[in-house]
Structure 1
Amino acid sequence: MLQLAASSILGLTVPHAPHAPPRCLAASRAASPVCVDDKSEVEEYFNNEGFNRWNRIYSEDGEVNAVQLDIRTGHGQTVDKILKWVDSDGRESLSDGTWCDAGCGVGSLAIPLAQRGATVVASDIAGAMASEAERRAADLGLSERASFSTSDLESLSGEYDTVSCIDVMIHYPPEKMAGMVGHLGGIAKERLILSFAPDTWYYRALKRFGELFPGPSKTTRAYLHTEEAVLKALSEAGFAPSRTEMTGTNFYFSRLIEAVRQ
């Protein structure tokens, strides 16, 4: 199992979920196409089986196996890189602005941002994930700094100084990715921070290899994206890259991009 952008390059389950329209696959020459709704599939998964699995992975004291521990480490490194950017910019600028964390999961990024003084509006398509994030924030006394709700990306509205969307793009097929970036750009006044699973020959090969080994945890599809396509989408949305990072562990691979409005 190989995890990329908090999703598995080998076809394992992945966290968070945006909206993607149904994709139709031909079951056979004679049969009618079978339509698969990525959004509904991921929403159902993370409100049920997936919640327990990923809640453990994203908990420091949760019991996990070696692969899940590696995924936890990789995701944590991505979050830490964003927080280092924030810290280098100075916490004064953070406390003066608003931050939207789209696809927040259990609050891995939203909560430490709130601890640093940010006003965070966070959401996730899975109510179970958003509720757990809200509980964690409340336990730390951060309810006034961080709010959590259940929403898909397309339903997000308003204006925020910074919009982040970490380990979510994996759920968007390439032909829908630009629309997702454009919508997030429409609610970001100054900055977008995105992560995605890079589409390279090496990761494509690993993904194909993993698809040979179906298992009970293979429940959602993983989409790779070229950096060129992501940068083009950002440019069309009016943003230019300012900082980038790459996180790679044994089972987790994620390209992180900060882009500022032009």
Structure 2
Amino acid sequence: MTTTDDKTIVKDYFNATGFDRWRRIYGDGEVNKVQKDIRIGHQQTIATTLGWLREDGNLKGLSICDAGCGIGSLSIPLAQAGANVFASDISEKMVGEAQQIAKQVLGDPSNLTFAVRDLEQLTGKYHTVICLDVLIHYPTQEAAKMIAHLASLAESRLIISFAPKTVLLSLLKKIGEFFPGPSKTTRAYQHKESDIIAILENNGFSIQRNGMTSTRFYFSRILEATRENSQASHSVLVA
């Protein structure tokens, strides 16, 4: 399957049945037990990211690109904290929902911009680029191209999450494939952490912090990497 095919599937899914499903999961309405578990896991990944950024104490005025923003679960609190946020998603419906939520929460903020954009079409320069729960939709070969592009946008820091490839998770995935359902519209790709780290290092970044979210149905490794030749190293950010 080519990148174009994967992207078309993801785009069509999140503009159709996937939109309603994931809007409920990302929101706070009624969901089933599996969806609630995934919601909790996703919220923990968001909380980890926000925690790292807040620890650094320099969020106000910081330029951030949230690539694959969904309904704005991360973008909106970042804007509330004073960051200048550019948020994008491949799904027009997701972006529309994010805009509505942002308007309800923030009014008409000047420091938050949403756009419908393919990840590899993003342009500009940002202090920090963040991409959460996106790489699961693409094989490692294509994820490498996406990470390389995101790295080219990040002046100082790149934060990404992915489904780690382990023996246990690979077994669970195979078991799950015996029980296909209407909600399993996109493929779920796992990535070896060593592969992702190597990709980051090949693009001039080194790992500074890492975290793991693990619930019954949601597994996500999150990495913070900083540009090796950047003056704004992690030690400076913390200070």
Q: How many residues align?
A: 226
Corresponding residue for residue 14 of structure 1:
none
After superposition, give the CA deviation of every residue in 1:178-209 in whole Å (9 maximum; x if it has no partner).
11111000000000000000011111111010
Q: What stretches of structure 2 of length at least 5 have no aligned partner?
A: 229-239
Structure number with the bigger relative contact order (C-alpha 8 A, sep ≥ 6) is: 1
Q: Does 1:73 align with 2:55?
A: no
Amino acid at match of 1:226: K
Q: Output the aligned Cα RMSD.
A: 1.0
Answer whether contact 1:114 1:142 (CA < 8 A) is retained. no
Corresponding residue for residue 58 of structure 1:
26
Structure 1 residue 174, shift from structure 2 partner: 1.4
Corresponding residue for residue 80 of structure 2:
115
Equivalent-residue separation in structure 1 for 2:155 and 2:108 (angstroms): 24
Q: TM-score, normalised by structure 2?
A: 0.92
Equivalent-residue separation in structure 2 for 1:165 and 1:172 (angstroms): 13
Equivalent-residue separation in structure 1 for 2:163 and 2:142 (angstroms): 15
Corresponding residue for residue 206 of structure 1:
172
Q: TM-score, normalised by structure 1?
A: 0.84
Q: What stretches of structure 1 of length at least 5 have no aligned partner?
A: 1-19, 23-36
Corresponding residue for residue 71 of structure 2:
106
Q: Does 1:48 align with 2:16?
A: yes
Structure 1 residue 96, shift from structure 2 partner: 2.8
Equivalent-residue separation in structure 2 for 1:249 and 1:47 (angstroms): 27
Equivalent-residue separation in structure 1 for 2:109 and 2:62 (angstroms): 17
Corresponding residue for residue 175 of structure 1:
141
Equivalent-residue separation in structure 2 for 1:169 and 1:215 (angstroms): 22
Equivalent-residue separation in structure 2 for 1:213 and 1:108 (angstroms): 30
Equivalent-residue separation in structure 2 for 1:143 and 1:150 (angstroms): 18
Structure 1 residue 142, shift from structure 2 partner: 5.0
Equivalent-residue separation in structure 1 for 2:61 and 2:70 (angstroms): 24
Given the superposition, is the C-alpha separation of residues 142 and 204 from structure 1 closer, same or farther in structure 2, using an over 3 Å criterion? Answer: farther
Structure 1 residue 255, shift from structure 2 partner: 0.1
Corresponding residue for residue 15 of structure 1:
none
Runs of 4+ residues over 6 Å off in structure 1? none
Corresponding residue for residue 185 of structure 1:
151
Q: Look up the SS of the partner of 2:60 in the other structure.
A: helix
Answer whether contact 1:164 1:193 (CA < 8 A) is retained. yes
Amino acid at match of 1:260: T
Structure 1 residue 175, shift from structure 2 partner: 1.5
